[in-house]
Structure formats: C-alpha cells, structure tokens
Amino acid sequence: MGKYKASLSGTRQVFSFTLTQMCKSRGNLVSLVILLVLMVVSMPAMTFFQQRTGGGEETESDLPALVNLVDESDLSLTSAVKLLPEWSGVTLVPEEEAEAQATVTGSLPAYTIAVTGSASGDALRALEESLRQAVENLRLQAAGLTAKQLAILDGGLRIHTPQTDDAAVDEKPIVVDADDDMSNFWLQYGYSIAVMILCLMSASYVIRAVIEEKSSRLVELLLVSVEPMALLLGKVLAAMVYVLGLLAVLAAGWGISLAVTAAIFGGEAVTSITSGIAGLIPLIQEQGVWAVAVVVISLTLGYLTMSLLGGLSGASCSQMEEMNAASGAVMTLTMAGYLASCVVSALPGKGVALLSTLCPVLSLFCAPVQYLKGAVSLPWLLLSWLIQLVLVVALAWLSGRVYARLIIYNGKRLNWRQILTMARGGKEGA
C-alpha cells in the first residue's frame, strides 16, 4: 500500500499546475469563446433558416389550413394544439368555413377522435395523427404516469374517420406499447453523444498537455520530484475538471440560445426540444438520486478509460505534429462504441441488452441506459462496472510500467505493440 501511495505523491500539484495552464492557454480561451458564440446563435440561426426554406409551407401541406376543432373532452386541447409547430399554418374557424372537422370526446383514461371534411385524405390523416399525439401527451400529463405505466392500463385511445355522413363508426382501440416508445431511443442517443463528447474532448486535452510538456522539456524537470503515475493522473484529473467546466459553460450557452429563439420566433419554436427534455423528468422522478449516481459513475469510468489511453498515446509522441495520429486510437474506439450504441438502441432482445452491458467500450455507452430503462438488472450493471474498473486498473498498471520511459522518449512515434513490449520487459516506474 505504501508503494502505491508513494507513486501517487505529487498528483495534487500536477493537477493544479495543469488545470491552471489549460485555463490560461490562449488557444483554449479562443476555442471556448468560438464554441460559446456558436452555441448561442445555433438555435436562432437554425430556426430562421428552417422558416426561410419552407418549414411553414411543409406544415401547411401536411395539415388542413382551416380546421373546426370541437373539444368535448376533459382536456385543454385547443390551447395545447396551438403550441405545436405543425399547427402554425392552421387556422381554427367555425364549422361552415372549415375544410376539416375534428371532434374529441371522452374523459380519462379513454378518448375518441373523429375527423371528417373536404380536405385531402393525406391532410385528414395528418390531422388525425397530430390530434392523437396531442391527446396522448395530455392524457399522460393528466394521469401523472410514465409511458410504461400507461401501457398496462385498460382502455385505449379510439380513433375513427367516417368517410361519409351515414357511414358506420369504426372504432379501433390503440394500445400504447412501451417497447415502441421512442423515448428509449432518444435516451440512448443523447447519452451516447454525451459520452462521445466527454471522451473525445478529455482525451484530446490530455494528449495535448502531455505532448506540450514533453516537447518543451518541462516534463524532465517534473519527473525529478513527481512519480510518473502521479504525473499522468494529475493531467487526467485536470482535463476532467476543465472539460466538465467547458460543458457547463456550453450548456448555459445552449440555454441562452433557447431563450433567444423563443423571444424572437415565439415559444412554439422550441416546444419540441423542451418537451423532449421534460420527458426525462418522469424517469428521474422514478429512479431518484440513484439514476444520477448511475450516470455519474458510468461517465467517470468511461472518462478514465479513454483519458488513460490518451495519456499513453500522447507520451509515445515527440512532436505536436503527431497529435492527430496519437488521437487516432481513442477516436476510433470512441466512435466505434458510439455507432454501435446507436444500432443497439434499435435492436430488441435480452441477449443484445446483456452484450451491450458487458462488452468493454460498448458498455461505456449502453450499460446505464439499459439498466435505467429496465432491460438489465442491477447485478448485471454492477458486473459491467467491475469489468470497466478492471480495464481502468490494467491501463493504470500499464502506465506505471512504461510512462516514465515514454515521457522522455524522443524519436519516431511508438505504436501500441511497441508500448506493450516495453511494458513486458520494463520495470514499473522505470
């Protein structure tokens, strides 16, 4: 134990020094300003160009332009549909002026939607589907239930479209299927993007810090008073804090971007985005603080894995020109895990869930999502964390074996086979 404690001596000093250098770096400050500006203007610019390139025309062609909506339900449907983006080109008019008549009746938990009119069949079907989705969302809010809980309730949403005035009413129950709920896909997709950004950005900063210190010969002075493992760990932790701070600033910029978009183009321009975020609230309420802990632990293990790989890869280089090549291994593994996670989210089955939970690298992207949506149980999640932790420890051991010699190495960039050969033949901390 004393040996390992000694190998970590000086970590705090390296952490403070590296974090200070990252915050003072002119290149990092310029990048931060550019990213923040792009984040703030992204939503207003995207909304502006969508409206200029025919977003409103597409909405008008989907839904009838003149609709008479009769709400005989216990829902505030009229005010709700006015907030939907696809209804921006729809005008609510009296029955005699309408080209489509929509009537919604019923009370929780079952409702009926009837759509008739002189508009085209495609327009009537689009109106029917839009109303169905609006009623479903309002019903979910009124019941205070998650999609999974709503799926087991008896009594579905019934929709019928009479083709003529004297046609018989054909009511077809629609059962809400939680497995078809797109929220699972978006949850996996959003989490995978967060992991990808965290891993790529963190590894990039670690690699840059290692190569800069190595090329400036500063690292040789640091090795006199700091153990190699402490030197690498200090950089890894500093990069973690810096990247988390950077993401927090960008998140604030995105919030400002949404506020600016709503102020310029109206609240309906950001309704779809904010409703998607609000859809995560029931999941957080259901899982509580444990859901946050699962995400934090998983992100930390993923970060440590990719950052240690980045530190070793950067130490094998001698010049800043080799940084792109050093980032290749981390980028390849990260992108492979990200792309595989997107495929996994669309594949059903217990076997796929277990594979994505236990497979190294892929589990960084999938394990917490599979657990939170109920595809795998807690023991499988804990086993996944154990496998990831073993991988982190193995990379730390490898770093202790070769980092000191890599950091003072000057010459052609070493590949991973040469690094592993060095580890087998070298002494720890040599």
Residue-level pLDDT at 212: 75
How high is the pLDDT of residue 387?
Answer: 93
pLDDT digits (tens, 9 = 90+) for 300-344: 888 888 888 887 787 777 677 777 777 777 888 888 888 888 787
> Which of 46-55, 146-155, 157-166, 195-204 is most confident?
195-204
Of 365, 381, 233, 380, nearest to 293 by C-alpha is 381
User: Does residue 36 lie in a domain region?
Assistant: yes
pLDDT in tens, 386-415: 999 999 888 877 876 777 677 666 777 777
Residues 280, 406 within the same domain: yes
Cβ atoms of residues 138 and 75 within 8 Å: yes
Based on the domain organization, do 171 and 216 belong to the same domain?
Answer: no
Are 109 and 169 in the same domain?
yes
Does residue 53 form part of some domain?
Answer: no
For residues 182-197, give the mean pLDDT.
Answer: 74
> Is 75 domain-assigned?
yes
Whether residue 54 lies inside any domain: the answer is no
First to last CA, the chain: 19
From 179, 203, 218, give the residue that closes a domain.
Answer: 179
Is 332 within a domain?
A: yes
What is the pLDDT at residue 384? 92
Average pLDDT over residues 225-252: 81
Most confident of 72-86, 111-125, 209-223, 318-332: 111-125
Choice among 4-18, 64-78, 387-401 with the minimum mean pLDDT: 4-18
Question: Which tops the pLDDT comparison, 107 or 113?
Answer: 113
Which pLDDT tens digit goes with each residue over 110-147? 788 888 888 888 888 888 888 888 888 777 666 665 54
| Same-domain pairing of 116 and 244 | no
pTM of full prediction above 0.75: no
165 pLDDT more than 50? no
pLDDT over 60 (residue 168): no
CA angle 137, 48, 280 (to 5 degrees): 30
Contact status, residue 134 vs residue 77, Cβ threshold 8 Å: yes
Most confident stretch, 167-171, 342-346, 367-371: 367-371
Residues 143 and 192 in one domain: no
283 and 421 in a common domain: yes
Residue ending a domain, among 179, 209, 234, is 179
Backbone angles phi, psi at 234, to 5 degrees: -60, -40
Q: What pLDDT score was predicted for residue 7?
A: 60
Residues 173 and 189 in one domain: no
Number of domains in the chain: 2
383 pLDDT above the threshold of 60: yes
Single residue among 148, 179, 210 that ends a domain in this structure: 179
Q: What percent of the chain has pLDDT over 90?
A: 3
pLDDT at 382 over 90: yes
pLDDT of residue 172: 43
Query: Does 375 reside within a domain?
Result: yes
Same structural domain, 105 and 173: yes
Residues 68 and 85 occupy one common structural domain: yes
Question: Is the pLDDT assigned to residue 173 strictly greater than 70?
Answer: no
Shared domain for 68 and 147, answered yes or no, is yes
Same domain, 222 and 148: no
Mean pLDDT of the chain: 75
Asked if 11 and 222 count as a contact pair (C-beta separation under 8 A), the reply is: no
User: Does residue 226 or residue 90 have the better pLDDT?
Assistant: 90
Peptide bond into 282 cis (omega under 30): no
The answer to the question of residue 255 being in a domain is: yes
**CB neighbours of residue 230 within 10 Å:** 21
Same domain, 81 and 211: no
Could you tell me the residue range of the domain that residue 164 belongs to?
Answer: 62-179
Mean of pLDDT values over 220-248 = 77
Average pLDDT (44-73) is: 71
Looking at the chain, the whole-number percentage of residues with pLDDT higher than 70 is 72
- Does 385 have pLDDT greater than 90? yes
Q: Is the pLDDT of residue 252 over 60?
A: yes
Residue 49 lies inside a defined structural domain of this protein: no
Quick count: other Cβ atoms within 10 Å of Cβ 71? 18
Distance between CA 82 and CA 148 in Å, rounded?
27
